[in-house]
Structure 1
């Protein structure tokens, strides 16, 4: 969950537009380099991506990404993060399909062992479909199958499945329009037990806000833990994005972990 949520938050830092129908039109455009334009005359805000859980809003069709995430301590815990307990993951993904008229499918190859490179890894598949497209809001549904076709040490972990709904809207402030994303879902490997010893099924939730042109902040969690994160971009380098997350902030399941991710879309 750490790797996927950080990478996808990084990918989602492209500037977006409201009203929401303008954003919806971007999924109909097969040109991955094109971005929806902001039509209200106000400064655009970053997409309100959520770090820590999956989102049903996919990347544009016929677009890809490559990303790298470093998280520490490995597996989470009370130890202070350092290079000896850090863990890295490399991901390469591609999105096809139009979620407005049909279904969007994103396939991601995750290399979970960097040294030696390629010794362990698996595939993730995300499916998304628009449930509602309005003038001021969008609602998408999504399904993820993770750790599929695993090899190496990744085979010790089970395949994972989750389903979720994401809603995108905005509210007006003195500083302009603020995009908001709310996501709720259920998965079979999403919730740590109260002592962090086991992980099982349960509900998850998330809230994301686009606060500036290039920065979004988020809160996510399950019944036993809370995560916070921020995703960011650089206007001069629109293909690049990054995210920073802190998982299990309150050490409620003894799994606190810090993660940083960087990605490039193409």
Structure 2
């Protein structure tokens, strides 16, 4: 039986609980090491420097990738660090379409910083097919949606946006913070990259900041990893462990409460 055969309630436990091979401890160790021993100068092990990879962070990144049905997950210091990295997969001269209902920090990034890198943008009501179609240019590379939006809770038709965007050879990035992978899996609906502010429902305790990305393809995952490793906005290891704790109880905290009698 593969992990895909289990319910989400089981997956959050099985993906966040990785027994330590050395001790059998169910919770992953907090590997507070910046560097790792290498056996010789010519053959490096899986880990060398924690910015590039860490065993504790790997458990978190593998967990969110599995829960979102993606190929690769990434953990960042904040939600905005994740969003910034997603936008930095674009290049000078590219154009991005952004949903008109978008988080304030994302709006600030798009309007105040992306132009400095030669990246064009337009805000569009992505639930209006005609308006969305009209917004595409020859250099449009990404449609960025957030559903439900923060804080308006406006819902976007993901399948409709994906159909239109892919027809124009553009990728779709979706912020899935408010629904979490328990209630919505954008990659299953055709989205190419999913983002989360792990600060909110995934962490669940208001004690850390965190951001997450999950990619659909290996190629896009490689691009995200290069930027993450080059710029260094990775999530601290203690916070990785705390976020794993939060995800572990995500399903139970999301269940409807019984009515009072």
- For normalisation by structure 2, the TM-score amounts to 0.28
Q: Which has the larger radius of gyration?
A: 2
Which structure has greater strand proportion? 1
Which structure has greater helix proportion? 2
